[in-house]
């Protein structure tokens, strides 16, 4: 019995060591680990994430709203677009440009802060302006976000930039389509995040 226990104790470290050997793990487990290591955090922001229409950056989304009339959808969308004007990140020039109940179309202009980094000693942000338009029909809405502009470092070295010259695939994504350029990439990333938030919000409101 004593010899048996000694043998078990002697083999225990070898068993633990074997568990740490990558080559002794099941092949599927190794493949899953390699795949996890290769996940690119910027994958959703790479080529194709910023669409262009006739040379202009235009984000668009068709949202189905089964059972809702054009008037119902118009009222819901208009209510949220008016609510946006009161958000803390909005600047004083934000406004509703058109709210036509006859055509069930609403257009607004927004200027707000996009914050890249904020800490006790650093505040890196840009003014971000865009037009948001909703065309409402029975059972659906078409939302577009366009005319995107930025005003960066206005207190030090003001830079006025357009989406077309700053966040397109050509200007913000490397040739291998593996990463974003550091400077223009942060604008592209935050713009896409804001667009996703707004489109997802409208979609949730119209369910």
Whole-Å CA distances, 16 to 7, 32, 131: 15, 21, 61
Which of 16-20, 42-46, 86-90, 118-122 is predicted least confidently?
Answer: 16-20
pLDDT band at 156 (very low <50, low <70, confident <90, very high): confident
CA 108/CA 65 separation, integer angstroms: 21
Residue 84 per-residue DSSP state = H
**How many folded domains does the chain comprise?**
2
Q: In this prediction, what percent of the chain has a pLDDT beyond 90?
A: 79
Predicted confidence (pLDDT) per residue in 29-47, tens digit: 556 555 556 789 999 999 9
Residue 125 has pLDDT above 80, yes or no: yes
pLDDT for the residue numbered 185: 96
Residue 89 has pLDDT above 60, yes or no: yes
- CA-based angle 140:142:143, to the nearest 5? 130
Predicted confidence (pLDDT) per residue in 132-142, tens digit: 999 999 999 99
Would the pTM of this model clear 0.85, i.e. be above it? no
Q: Give the residue-averaged pLDDT of 174-198.
A: 97
Question: Which residues on adjacent β-strands are paired with residue 150?
Answer: 128, 161
- 182/111 same-domain check: yes
CA 203/CA 183 separation, integer angstroms: 31
Of the candidates 114, 112, 113, 77, the one whose C-alpha atom is nearest the C-alpha of residue 98 is 77
> What residues have CB less than 8 Å from 196, skipping those under 6 apart?
none
Q: Is the alpha carbon torsion for 191, 194, 198, 199 positive or negative?
A: positive
Residue 28 has pLDDT above 80, yes or no: no
* CATH number of the domain to which 144 belongs: 3.30.530.80
- 148/175 same-domain check: yes
Q: At what angle do helices 182-205 and 70-84 cross, to 10 degrees?
A: 140
Phi-psi category of residue 51: left, alpha or beta, with phi > 0 → left and psi -120 to 50 → alpha:
beta
Range of the domain at 14: 2-35
Q: Give the residue-averaged pLDDT of 61-90.
A: 98
- 115/92 same-domain check: yes
- 99/29 same-domain check: no
């Amino acid at each position: 019995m004593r010899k048996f226990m000694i043998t078990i104790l002697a083999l225990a470290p070898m068993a633990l060591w074997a568990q740490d050997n990558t080559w002794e793990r099941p092949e599927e487990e190794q493949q899953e680990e390699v795949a996890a290591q290769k996940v690119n955090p910027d994958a959703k922001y790479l080529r194709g994430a910023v669409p262009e229409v006739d040379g202009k950056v235009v984000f668009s989304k068709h949202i189905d709203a089964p059972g809702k009339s054009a008037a119902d959808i118009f009222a819901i969308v208009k209510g949220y677009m008016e609510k946006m004007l009161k958000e803390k990140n909005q600047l004083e020039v934000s406004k509703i440009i058109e709210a036509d109940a006859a055509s069930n179309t609403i257009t607004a202009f927004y200027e707000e802060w996009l914050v890249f980094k904020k800490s006790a000693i650093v505040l890196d942000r840009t003014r971000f302006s865009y037009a948001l338009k909703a065309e409402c029909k029975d059972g659906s809405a078409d939302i577009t976000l366009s005319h995107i502009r930025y005003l960066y470092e206005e207190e030090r070295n003001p830079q006025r930039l357009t989406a077309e010259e700053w966040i397109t695939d050509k200007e913000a994504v490397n040739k291998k389509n593996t990463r974003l350029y550091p400077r223009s990439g942060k604008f592209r990333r935050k713009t896409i995040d804001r667009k996703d938030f707004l489109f997802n919000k409208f979609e949730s409101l119209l369910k």
